[in-house]
């Protein structure tokens, strides 16, 4: 696509006219207010040409749940504002909001229980570090620790900010042995019940 010069294109004149009235406009804002297709505006090179001619610059960034991904344009020959670094404290998502709501409603939950309560994938919660980020944002806290069947401790979260519960140490050899014997006794008891039912 041939990009017209700024002085002879009605579309570019409309873009410059909008920016003369409003600063900090995204490509979608400009598309809507200057009546220029978003594909023409962004992919067609109009904004790139205006920046190359130093008629516009990136004056800011719009924050979304995924980061500062949308540049905002203003008139003038100024250096582009670099994209801000996106910290955990800035992150938010619908899923994170659902987790906080579930904790407020149901009380203490592990991340697996939070996944079940919200309908989110437990892999999403774990891999996206939702719980760690919510703790950093002081929206939730670790209220207790629960040992799962395999042995390692799993955090139980509650809504709000409080001092985190201290994580217990690993099981000693004696504790592991006792847990093994308890599981064996439970299995033997189950086998005995099944045998009685079969004989009956």
pLDDT number for residue 2: 46
68 is written with which tokens?
Answer: 């500062």
CA separation for the pair 129, 35 (Å, rounded)? 41
Task: Give the pLDDT of residue 66.
Answer: 61
Distance CA 19, CA 16 (A): 5
Low pLDDT (below 70) residues in the chain: 1-8, 43-44, 64-68, 86-90, 149-151, 170-177, 179-180, 182-184, 186-200
CA angle 194, 197, 200 (to 5 degrees): 150
Cα–Cα distance for residue pair 155/146, rounded to 1 Å: 6
The answer to whether the pTM exceeds 0.85 is: no
- Write down the pLDDT at residue 3: 46
Helices (H) and strands (E) in the chain, counts: 9, 4
DSSP 36: -
Give the bridge partners for 140, in sequence order: 159
DSSP label at residue 138: T
User: Which tokens in the block code for residue 151?
Assistant: 């042995």
CB under 8 Å to 110, separation ≥6 — which residues?
146, 154, 155, 156, 157
32: which 2 tokens? 């809507």
């Amino acid at each position: 696509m041939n990009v017209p010069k700024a002085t002879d294109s009605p579309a570019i004149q409309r873009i410059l006219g909008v920016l003369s009235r409003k600063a900090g406009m995204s490509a979608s804002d400009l598309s809507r207010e200057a009546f220029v297709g978003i594909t023409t505006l962004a992919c067609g090179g109009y904004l790139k040409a205006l920046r190359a001619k130093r008629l516009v610059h990136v004056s800011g960034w719009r924050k979304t749940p995924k980061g500062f991904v949308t540049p905002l344009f203003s008139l003038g020959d100024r250096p582009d504002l670099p994209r801000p670094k996106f910290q955990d404290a800035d992150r938010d998502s619908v899923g994170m909001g659902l987790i906080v709501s579930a904790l407020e409603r149901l009380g203490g939950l592990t991340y697996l229980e939070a996944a079940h309560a919200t309908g989110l994938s437990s892999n999403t919660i774990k891999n996206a570090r939702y719980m760690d980020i919510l703790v950093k944002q002081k929206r939730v806290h670790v209220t207790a620790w629960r040992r799962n069947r395999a042995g390692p401790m799993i955090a139980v979260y509650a809504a709000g900010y409080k001092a985190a519960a201290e994580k217990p140490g690993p099981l000693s050899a004696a504790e592991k042995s006792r847990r093994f014997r308890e599981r064996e006794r439970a299995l033997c008891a189950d086998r005995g019940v099944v045998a009685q039912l079969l004989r009956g």
